[in-house]
């Protein structure tokens, strides 16, 4: 049984860091996963280094010949022809890799396959990490999804979208994301967190995208500061919304109270100094950052959307706020509406709904409630930490994932 993993390694996100943890864990057991970079660009240096430490050499598609021609075509004002040739070489190269490795199965991480990628006399699994909410379920896309022998989802929300919007009637398995080793290996606190004498630190960690809802948190900080709370916001992450968030921060007069940390490699250190963590996403297939915040005993606030409902290890483990703000009102806060999905899953209603954002005032009310009752909130988060570490361990994840990989490899 030879199963490959097709994943884009040219971007830094939760998908890639999860795969890195899985690859490292598997390699310690002597099972180096065959890693195929589906991106046209080479893997990021950090991923190449991580994989090399695990004894894994990622395989990337060849695009040199067409890329050189594309430059010539561009100068000759034949950009479209150059792009077509580059795309053709890219697809052909990935298909050749799959054949050369003699794969009996392929796991496609968050990307719809095409027919040439399905291993000959083998099978393919689509691992949905939010693809079902990003991509539109057009007829061609549905046909590409049907090339999979099974679909792996990360949450109830994923499963609902695949079933209801994509019309998937085949085999489906739910595989909850684990804690990354850097967080899981951190010792559990002996006692709950407490507020220091200094400012109250609110934290956000995600890619800076419009659908992450971060501008709502920025405005919430303004609200609670106006009520006399000495609160500061730390934002970990980078992305296309950075400028919009900085502009909103300046307009609100919060430049001294909002800190943009950029890409943070050590989330354990970042979360250690946070008093309250907020995940205000408009869409969120699962929600690894609030899971990690809970694992480190940090009182957490999440939007009642998509996979956030699955993150909580027990009812009341974190504060969950229903999104009520229209997209038009959200845009007025200073965000773009780039890549906002048509529908999201409501864990409270248990069906698909139109996307909405968190009202900053609702976030502010919850933040004040946590601050005023911090001892209670801290004990709740401390209790959740033990439950999360048990339920979302890497050992459990790898064991369950290997069973699914075996099914794909056996062409079941």
Residue-wise pLDDT for 13-54, tens only, equals: 788 989 999 999 999 989 999 999 999 889 999 999 999 999
What is the average pLDDT score of the chain? 92
Per DSSP, the three-state class of 126 is strand
Residue 406's pLDDT is 94
- Topology of domain 182-391 in CATH is Rossmann fold (3.40.50)
Q: pLDDT above 90 covers what percent of the chain?
A: 83
281-329 pLDDT, tens per residue?
999 999 999 999 999 999 999 999 999 999 999 999 999 999 999 999 9
Tell me the CA distances in angstroms from 248 to 211, 218, 251, 348, 394, one per residue in order. Answer: 16, 8, 5, 31, 38
Residue 69's pLDDT is 53
What is the average pLDDT across 190-197? 93
263-280 pLDDT, tens per residue?
898 999 999 999 999 999
Q: Per the structure block, which two tokens stand in for 65?
A: 């010949």
What is the average pLDDT across 129-142? 93
Helix, strand, coil shares, percent, the chain, to 5: 45, 15, 40
State yes or no: pLDDT of 114 exceeds 70.
yes
Calpha distance 120→208 (Å, rounded): 40
**Edge-to-edge, what's the strand order for the sheet holding 300-303?**
258-262, 231-236, 200-205, 276-279, 300-303, 319-321
pLDDT band at residue 62 using 50, 70 and 90 as cut-offs: confident
Q: pLDDT above 70 covers what percent of the chain?
A: 95
pLDDT band at residue 60 using 50, 70 and 90 as cut-offs: very high
State yes or no: pLDDT of 8 exceeds 60.
yes
Residue 290 near residue 308 (C-beta atoms within 8 A): yes
Write the Ramachandran bin of 389: left for phi over 0, alpha for psi from -120 to 50, otherwise beta. Answer: alpha
Q: Per the structure block, which two tokens stand in for 38?
A: 């589906």
Task: Please state the pTM of the whole predicted model.
Answer: 0.86
Over the range 161-199, which residues count as b (16 or more CB within 10 Å of their CB) and which as e?
Answer: bbeebbebeeebbebbbbbbeebbebeeeeebbeeeeee
What is the average pLDDT across 134-150? 95
State yes or no: pLDDT of 59 exceeds 70.
yes
* Residue from 381, 396, 162 nearest 291 by CA: 381
Residue 303 near residue 358 (C-beta atoms within 8 A): yes
* Residue from 363, 344, 362, 215 nearest 277 by CA: 363
β pairing state of 258-262 and 231-236: parallel
Positions of CATH 3.40.50.2000 in the chain: 3-59+101-178+394-409, 182-391
What is the average pLDDT across 76-101? 79
pLDDT band at residue 12 using 50, 70 and 90 as cut-offs: confident
Residue 17's pLDDT is 86
More confident residue, 159 or 12: 159
What are phi and psi for residue 190, nearest 5 degrees? -75, -30
238: exposed, middle or buried (Cβ count in 10 Å: 0-12, 13-18, 19+) = middle
345-397 pLDDT, tens per residue?
999 999 999 999 999 999 999 999 999 999 999 999 999 999 999 999 999 99
Residue 81's pLDDT is 67
Note the residue count of the chain: 412
Residue 11's pLDDT is 87
Number of other CB atoms surrounding residue 345 within 10 Å = 29
CATH superfamily for domain 3-59+101-178+394-409: Glycogen Phosphorylase B; (3.40.50.2000)
């Amino acid at each position: 049984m030879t199963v490959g993993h097709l994943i884009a390694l040219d971007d830094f996100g939760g998908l890639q860091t999860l795969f890195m943890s899985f690859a490292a864990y598997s390699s310690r057991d002597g099972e180096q996963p065959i890693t195929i970079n589906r991106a046209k660009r080479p893997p990021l240096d950090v991923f190449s280094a991580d994989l090399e430490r695990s004894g894994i050499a990622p395989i990337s598609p060849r695009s040199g010949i067409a890329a050189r021609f594309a430059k010539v075509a561009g100068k000759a004002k034949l950009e479209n022809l150059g792009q077509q040739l580059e795309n053709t070489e890219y697809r052909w190269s990935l298909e050749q890799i799959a054949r050369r490795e003699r794969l009996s199965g392929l796991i496609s991480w968050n990307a719809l396959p095409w027919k040439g990628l399905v291993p000959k006399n083998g099978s393919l699994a689509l691992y949905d990490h939010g693809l079902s909410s990003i991509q539109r379920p057009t007829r061609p896309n549905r046909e590409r999804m049907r090339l999979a022998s099974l679909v792996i989802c990360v949450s109830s929300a994923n499963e609902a979208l695949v079933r209801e919007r994509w019309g998937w009637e085949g085999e489906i398995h739910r595989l909850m994301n684990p804690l990354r080793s850097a967080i899981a290996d951190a010792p559990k606190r002996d006692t709950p967190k407490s507020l220091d004498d200094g400012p109250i630190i609110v934290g956000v960690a995600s890619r800076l995208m419009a659908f992450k809802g971060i501008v709502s948190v920025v405005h919430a900080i303004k609200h609670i500061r106006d009520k006399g709370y000495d609160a500061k916001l730390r934002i970990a992450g980078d992305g296309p919304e950075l400028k919009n968030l900085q502009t909103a921060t300046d307009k609100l007069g919060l430049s001294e109270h909002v800190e943009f940390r950029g890409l943070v490699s050590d989330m354990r250190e970042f979360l250690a100094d946070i008093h309250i963590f907020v995940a205000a996403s408009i869409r969120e297939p699962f929600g690894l950052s609030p899971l990690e915040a809970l694992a480190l005993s940090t009182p957490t606030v999440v939007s009642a959307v998509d996979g956030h409902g699955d993150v909580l290890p027990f009812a009341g483990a974190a504060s969950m706020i229903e999104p009520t703000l229209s997209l038009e009102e959200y845009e007025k806060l200073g965000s773009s509406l780039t890549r906002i999905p048509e529908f999201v899953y409501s864990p409270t209603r248990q069906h698909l709904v139109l996307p909405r954002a968190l009202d900053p005032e609702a976030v502010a009310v919850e933040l004040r409630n946590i601050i005023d009752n911090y001892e209670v909130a801290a004990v709740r988060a401390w209790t959740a930490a033990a439950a999360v570490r048990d339920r979302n361990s890497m050992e459990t994840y790898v064991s369950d994932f290997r069973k699914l990989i075996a099914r794909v490899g056996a062409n079941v």
